[in-house]
């Protein structure tokens, strides 16, 4: 049943992405949040309407062009600033990925007029809505955290990172070895002793596509080989590292223009022989 424009609606889930404790999408018309706190960070974008809120006894507003970041353990409330209500998308981020030591900076400036950051958050929400695209979401979160830290922290002294070409080759070798089971960006960074965003930038600069796209392509190649042996798409999805058959189908069609079920066909010589026999029938 379609949702009426004035009907409240909420959806929430916990994605398998380290650092994100919850994804929360909501449309509210007249709901008002009482003063409360969270033990995690609240990263909020408004898609429609506007929100008024008090943070640490100071009044603020969340508008569509900006990004709002509310720190853990600091009281805040929330209510619509328009009679039509508001639509918002929220990511709750664990303090393991954004430390509580920058709480003061967030209290001083909870609204960030940063369009590139807002676009990256929107893209992350899109990835989180697609089951199986965790590695892409992981990568997008790393760049969001990097940009948030630019707002919240003083620039840190530059530390040496492995050379771009060398670290890209090592990451490619890791992805080749872990094509089916996969790897999180955080795990790859720890194994290769590099910052997550440096890994993604180095790989993209060296090979011309981001690591999550490379990994998907490797899985598609494996799926093609398995399909040609006669395995069913559901079996192939699991064997090639996809979340499920629909996840395989979505990426397979994007890469090859057909679904996995329609991909295996008779080789051309065998088709010709079959056609010849049919023509010879009385």
Q: What is the mean pLDDT of the chain?
A: 88
Q: Give the model confidence (pLDDT) of 191-249 as tens digits.
A: 999 999 999 999 999 999 999 999 999 999 999 999 999 999 999 999 999 999 999 99
Q: What is the mean pLDDT of residues 109-137?
A: 95
51 φ/ψ sector (left φ>0, alpha ψ -120 to 50, else beta): beta
Q: Give me the torsion for CA of 120, 122, 128, 132, rounded to 10°.
A: -60
Q: Would you state the pLDDT for residue 154?
A: 65
Euclidean distance between CA atoms 95 and 101, whole angstroms:
9
User: How much of the chain is in helix, strand and coil states, percent to nearest 5?
Assistant: 45, 20, 35
Architecture of the domain delimited by 9-115: Sandwich (2.60)
Q: In sequence order, which residues have a C-beta less than 8 Å from that of residue 33 and are 6 or more positions away?
A: 53, 76, 77, 78, 79
Do domains 9-115 and 170-262 share one topology? The answer is no
Distance between CA atoms of 171 and 138, rounded to whole angstroms?
Answer: 15
Closest to 39 (Cα-Cα) out of 117, 107, 96: 96
State the Cα–Cα distance between residues 255 and 268, nearest whole angstrom.
22
- Residue 26 near residue 88, CB atoms below 8 Å: yes
> What residue ranges do the domains of the chain occupy?
9-115, 170-262
Q: Which residues are paired to 76 by β-bridges?
A: 36, 55
CA–CA separation, 95 and 152 (whole Å): 14
- The pTM assigned to this predicted structure is 0.82
CATH node for 170-262? 1.10.10.60
Query: Between residues 115 and 1, which one has the greater pLDDT?
Result: 115
Q: Tell me the C-alpha to C-alpha distance, in Å, between residue 125 and each of 74, 122, 137, 262.
A: 25, 5, 8, 31
| 30 confidence band (pLDDT: 50, 70, 90) | confident
């Amino acid at each position: 049943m379609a949702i009426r424009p004035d009907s409240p609606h909420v959806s929430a889930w916990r994605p398998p992405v380290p650092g994100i404790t919850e994804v929360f999408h909501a449309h509210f018309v007249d709901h008002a949040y009482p003063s409360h706190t969270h033990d995690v960070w609240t990263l909020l974008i408004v898609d429609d309407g506007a929100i008024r809120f008090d943070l640490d006894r100071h009044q603020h507003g969340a508008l569509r062009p900006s990004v709002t970041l509310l720190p853990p353990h600091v009281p805040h409330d929330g209510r619509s600033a328009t009679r039509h209500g508001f639509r918002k998308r929220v990511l709750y981020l664990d303090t393991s990925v954004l430390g509580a030591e920058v709480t003061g900076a967030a209290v001083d400036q909870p609204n960030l007029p940063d369009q590139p950051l807002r676009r990256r958050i929107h893209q992350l929400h899109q990835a989180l809505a697609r089951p199986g695209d965790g590695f892409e979401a992981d990568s997008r979160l790393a760049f969001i955290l990097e940009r948030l830290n630019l707002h919240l922290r003083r620039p840190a002294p530059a530390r040496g990172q492995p050379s771009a070409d060398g670290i890209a080759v090592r990451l490619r070798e890791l992805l080749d070895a872990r094509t089916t089971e996969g790897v999180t960006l955080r795990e790859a960074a720890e194994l290769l002793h590099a910052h997550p965003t440096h890994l993604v930038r180095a790989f993209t600069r060296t090979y011309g596509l981001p690591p999550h796209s490379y990994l998907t392509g490797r899985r598609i190649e494996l799926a093609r080989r398995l399909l040609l042996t006669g395995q069913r798409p559901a079996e192939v999805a699991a064997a090639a590292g996809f979340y499920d058959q629909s996840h395989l189908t979505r990426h397979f069609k994007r890469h090859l223009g057909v679904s996995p079920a329609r991909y295996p066909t008779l080789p051309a010589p065998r088709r010709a022989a079959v056609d010849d026999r049919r023509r010879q029938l009385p």
